[in-house]
Amino acid sequence: MQQLTASILGWLAIVACYLLGEFLVLVADAPIPGALVGLLILLGGLLIHQRPVFAISRGAQPMLTHMSVLFVPAVIGVGLFWDTVSANALGIVLALVATTIISLGLTAWIAQQLLRGKGQK
């Protein structure tokens, strides 16, 4: 019961950060996502506090674990742009497959050069 209360309170705190982020972005008319501002507010708060907050971690967990389901409406929305997608299918497939693999390999290679000897302590 106590854990459930903590989860709900933590979740509400996260929602509050989100709404605050949206509010700030709207008021400042800034071209950045409100959710990102909310993320930075929460991260800043946690860093100032310097310890993990039990309620926040509990409140965040279900959304982090099951984030996939939240994207379903967005993916279904592709149906609305089907003509544009099929008209550019070749380019899209090339851009997604080839460049993702190249970028992945290149980034890993560079990271390996840069992080050499800096392994875990």
Partner 1 sequence: MLRAELAVAQIIGRLQEVVMQSLTVSGTFWLAVTLLCYLMALQIFRRCGGHPLFHPLSLTASAVAIVMWLTDVTASQYRGDAAILQWLLGPATVALAVPMFNQWQKIKNLGAPLLVSIAVGGIIAPALAWGVIYLTHAPLAIQMTMLVKSITSPLAMETGAAIGGIPALAAVFVILTGIIGAVAAPVTFRILAITQPEAQGVALGTVCHAVGTAKALQTGVVEGALATVGLGVNGILTALVLPLFF
Q: Which positions from 78 through 117 interact with partner 1, judged by CB under 8 A?
A: 78-81, 84-85, 88, 90-92, 94-112, 114-116
Shortest Cβ 17–partner 1 spacing (Å): 5
Shortest Cβ 23–partner 1 spacing (Å): 5
- Contact call for residue 8 and partner 1 (CB under 8 A): no
Total of residues contacting partner 1 (CB under 8 A): 80
Quick one: 2 or 51, whose CB is closer to partner 1?
51
For residue 68, give both structure tokens. 């996939």
3-state secondary structure of 68: helix
- Binding string, residues 17-56; x marks residues near partner 1 by CB under 8 A: xxx-xxx--xx---xxxxxx-xxxxxx--xx----x---x
Helix (H) or strand (E) holding 120: none
User: In this structure, what DSSP letter does residue 121 have?
Assistant: -
Shortest Cβ 1–partner 1 spacing (Å): 23
Among residues 17, 21, 10, 15, the alpha carbon closest in space to that of 52 is found at 10
3-state secondary structure of 88: coil
For residue 24, give both structure tokens. 């700030």
